Amino acid sequence: MSAEATNPEARPDARPELRRRGRTRLDLRRLGRAALLGPTSRDRLPDAIGHVAEAHRAHHPDADLSILRRAYVLAESSHRGQMRKSGEPYITHPLAVTLILAELGAETTTLTASLLHDTVEDTEVTLDQVREEFGDEVCFIVDGVTKVEKIDYGAAAEPETFRKMLVATGNDVRVMSIKLADRLHNMRTLGVMRPDKQARIAKVTRDVLIPLAERLGVQALKTELEDLVFAILHPEEYEHTRALIAAHAGERDPLPAIAESVRVVLREAGIHAEVLVRPRHFVSVHRISRKRGELRGSDFGRLLILVGENADCYGVLGELHTCFTPVVSEFKDFIAVPKFNLYQSLHTAFATSGGHVAEVIVRTRQMHRVAEAGVVALGNPYATAAAVTATAGAAAGSAEACADPYEERVDPTRPGWLSRLLDWQQSAPDPDTFWSVLRAELAQDREITVFRADGGTLGLPGGASCIDAAYAQHGEAAHGCIGARVNGRLTSLSSRLSDGDTVQLLLAHDASSGPSADWLEHAHTPAARIAISSWLKAHPDGAAATTTAARAPLSVVGARGGGGNAVADLPDATVRLAGCCTPVPPDAVAGFVVRGGAVTVHRVQCAAVAQMRSLGRTSVAVHWRATADCRVTLLAESFGRPHLLADLTEAIAREGVEVVSATVEPPVEQRVRHSYTLQLPDATGLPALMRAMRDVPGVYDVSRA
C-alpha cells in the first residue's frame, strides 16, 4: 500500500481542517519512542501526552489534566515491553487514539478512557483497578470498549464483535467515539499487514464503521477513513484521483479569488464572517469526477463561510444570491431541517462571471464544530446524572458497579436510528441475519421524520412505508394493522412516507389478525422485516388466511331522481344531481346536457367533469336555490363489530337527518364499508353530521361519495 494511504497526515494535500491553526500534525511514532526513553517529572504531565494536553486545553481551558497524567502512567507501565506489528512501542497506539479525540474536542473522561482502552484487554490491569483509580464513569466506558477477545476479521467473528459494539454504543455513544478513533489509527498503520488482511479490514470499515461515523456525525474521522479505504480497495482509481489532484496543484486555483470577492461582498453588507477555501478529500474528488466528467478548477474545493449566529447564515445566503447568480438546484437548508446525524448548514452554489461554479457551505462556528466532531462535540451526555450514578455505584459495591456494562442508560444524544438498531438486534435470529440487515440499515443515507396522530414523532429511514411506521410505533401489535391515513387521506400500507407526513395507523381489534407475505416487499426497516418474517414462520397457515379477494365495487344509491336545490340556466330543462359525486350546497358545480335534454349536475372536482369537457361537451351554468334542504350520499369506513349499523343510524337520526337508503358491504379484513343516501333539512349541517358519524366507536372515516 502507498505511503499516503498508511499515513495521510504526512501528505501535503491532507485536509487542513483536521489541524488546529498554529499547531502542526504530530509524528506519533517518534513521540512514543521519546516518551519511553526520556525522563518524566512527577510534578508535570509526561512529555508524551503534552500535545494531547495542549489539544485538550484548546477546547476545554479549565480541564483538570491530573487524571490524564495518572491514566498515561498506568497505560505506559502496563503496556511496557509490548510492541505493535509496525515495530513501535504499543503505548503509541492509545496515545494516537487519544490525540485524535482531543483534536475533536472530547471531554476529559473520554480521553482518560481512551488512554486505558486496551489495558484491560491486553495487560494485567482489571476493571476493578480502573474503577478504583478513575471512577465508575471511566470504568463503564473502558468496559464498553474492551473487546472480549482479539478480533478475528473472518466472516463469523465480525457480526458478533460489532453486535457487542452496537450494544455498548447504545449505552454510551462515547464508546463508539473511541472505537472510531481506534480504527482510524489502525487504518493509518495498516501497511505492515498482508494485502489480504488489509482488504478484509478495509471492507469491514467501509461497510460498517464509515456509515456509523457518518450517522454519529463525526465527519473528520469519516472522511479520512474513506480515503484510507479507497486507497486499499481501489488502488487504480485512487492513483488516478491523486494524479488529478496533483495536476490541479500546478494550475491556478480560482477559488481563492472567488473567496476574496465573497469577503468583499459580506464586508460591505456588514456581516462578520470567515471565508475559507476547503479542499475536497480524495473520495469526494473521485465522486465529483464521475458525476461531472472533466473537472474544472473550482471542482477541487468548496467555500466554507463561518458566522456567529443562525440569522447571519441566512444573511450570507441573501447576499450571495443577490450579488452572484445562484444555482437553484444546489440549495439545501439543513439548518431548518437538520440531518439525522446532528448536521446543520446551508448549502448553495453560484456561478461567477468567469464561468466557474463555486459550491458554498454556510454555518455558525458551533455548527462547524458539531459537523466535524458530531457526538464527540456534545461532551458528557450524563454530566447532570453523574452524582446519581456515582452514588448508585457506591451502594452496589465495587464488585457490581461495572458488572453489567450494557445496563440501559438514558442517553439524550442517542439518535433515533441507533435506538432502532438496538431494538431489532435483540430479535435477530442469527449472526448472518444480523450482519446483512445491519449493513442494509447503515446503507440508508437519509432519515425522515413523520408525525403520529397523537402528536408524537417517528424517525424512519428514507423510503420507509406505512408498514415500517406501524412496527416502529406499535411493535408486534402492528401485526393487526389494516390500513393507514396519511395527511388525512386513506392509503394502502405499502405507501411510502415523505418527510413531514402525518400518519394515523388503523389496527384491527381481532387478535388473530396478522401480516401477509407481501408485506415483506414493502417493509424497509429491520424491525419490520424481522417481526413479519417471525410471524409468518410461526403461522404458516395464517398468511393465506389474511390474503383476501379484492373488494367488490361499491354500489352507491344516489339521488338521481331529482335536482334538489339545483337550478340550471336552461329553460324547461330537467335537472338531476349526479350520483357519482352527489353535490350539495354550497359546492361549486357544473352542469352538462345529457341524452333526453336533462342537465346532470356534478361537483367541479368530479372526474366526470374533466371527461365531459374532453369530449367537447358544453357546460351549463348551474346555481343553488335559496332553500337549504339537500340530498347527499356519505361513505362510512369502520371496523366490524356488533350493533354498528344501529349505532350509525341512531347518530344520523340525532342530527335530524332522514335516511333515504343504506347499503352495507360484507366485511373484508375486519373492515366494513357503509353507504347512506341522506336527506338533510339544511346543507350547513353536513359537517356536523359527518363528525357525529365519525364519533361512533369503530368508525375511522366518513367521506362524501
- Report the catalytic residues: 121-122
By DSSP bridging, strand 699-704 and strand 630-639 are: antiparallel
Close Cβ partners of 328 (under 8 Å, ≥ 6 residues apart) = none
Helix spans in 146-189 (H):
157-171, 173-188
Cell of 314: 441566512
Question: What 8-state DSSP symbol labels residue 206?
Answer: I
Residue 661's SS3 state is: strand
**427 close to 530: Cβ distance less than 8 angstroms:** yes
Q: How far apart are CA 460 and CA 65, in angstroms?
A: 42
Q: Where on the phi/psi map is residue 684: left (φ > 0), alpha (ψ -120 to 50), or beta?
A: alpha
Q: How far apart are CA 7 and CA 468, in angstroms?
A: 43
Q: What is the DSSP string of 341-376?
A: TS---EEEEEE-TTS-EEEEEEEEHHHHHHHHHGGG
Q: How far apart are CA 570 and CA 63, in angstroms?
A: 89
- Residue 149 burial class via C-beta count within 10 angstroms: exposed 0-12, middle 13-18, buried 19 and up: exposed
Q: What backbone phi and psi angles, to 5 degrees, belong to 590?
A: -140, 145
Question: Cα 287 to chain center, whole Å?
Answer: 22
**459 close to 563: Cβ distance less than 8 angstroms:** no
